[in-house]
Amino acid sequence: MTMPPDEALSDEGWALLARAGDPRAFDRLVGRYKEPLYRFIRRYVGNAADAQDVLQESFIAAWVGLARYDAARSFAPWLRTITLNKCRDWGRRQAVRRLFLGRWAVEMAVRTDDCVDSPDSDAAPAEAMSRRLDQAIARLPGSLKEPLLLTTTLGMSHDEAAAILKITAKSVEMRLYRARGRLREWTA
């Protein structure tokens, strides 16, 4: 079967082809969403290795969930909701890990990630600030982190973020204000 060109089908059309069993169609969707979702997850979890794992889990869950996908609804929010839920699952696993292994294990994972991500170069100060920001965002409670990342990393409007989070747009606005305030305190 010949694949239609990218612009010939909407995301919903590609999802229907994938649901019909065409893995190449799902590959097209992965190609479209991989980078923005990775940036979102990277900021949510605070390190690259965990972000890759959560990204894979998100796409696996989407592939498995295609049977339940309603093509009358937009594909992007459906996939973003799956990704947000996988980030939340990761957060719960981290909480359990902290409970059993203590704060030390989590801090060692962050230090290891810092070593991997920090080459010696002229860009090192900017990269160090970016890592500090990533770690500060990862420390935010989910109620503040999620609206921040949905709006800034994925470029969603307050209304779109509110729909995914099942809160009001005004609540998104207030949580963004609080999240930015905490980040200013922590990264100053």
Query: So what's the architecture of 140-188 in CATH?
Result: Orthogonal Bundle (1.10)
Identity of the amino acid at 4: P
How many degrees, rounded to 5, is the angle at CA 44 between CA 40 and CA 45? 120
pLDDT at 102: 56
Residues with Cβ within 8 Å of 61's Cβ and at least 6 positions away in sequence, in order, are: 82, 85, 86
Written as tens digits, the pLDDT of the chain (188 aa) is: 555 665 678 999 999 999 999 989 999 999 999 999 999 999 999 889 999 999 999 999 999 999 999 989 999 999 999 999 999 999 888 877 766 665 555 555 555 554 544 444 556 777 777 778 888 888 899 999 999 999 988 889 999 999 999 999 999 999 999 999 998 898 87
Other Cβ atoms within 10 Å of 179 Cβ, number: 23
DSSP state of 4: P
pLDDT at 186: 84
pLDDT at 1: 52
CATH topology classification for 9-123: Rna Polymerase Sigma Factor; Chain: A (1.10.1740)
User: How do the domains of the chain map onto residue ranges?
Assistant: 9-123, 140-188
d(CA 163, CA 182): 24
Same fold, 9-123 and 140-188: no
Report pTM: 0.74
pLDDT at 93: 86
d(CA 44, CA 33): 16
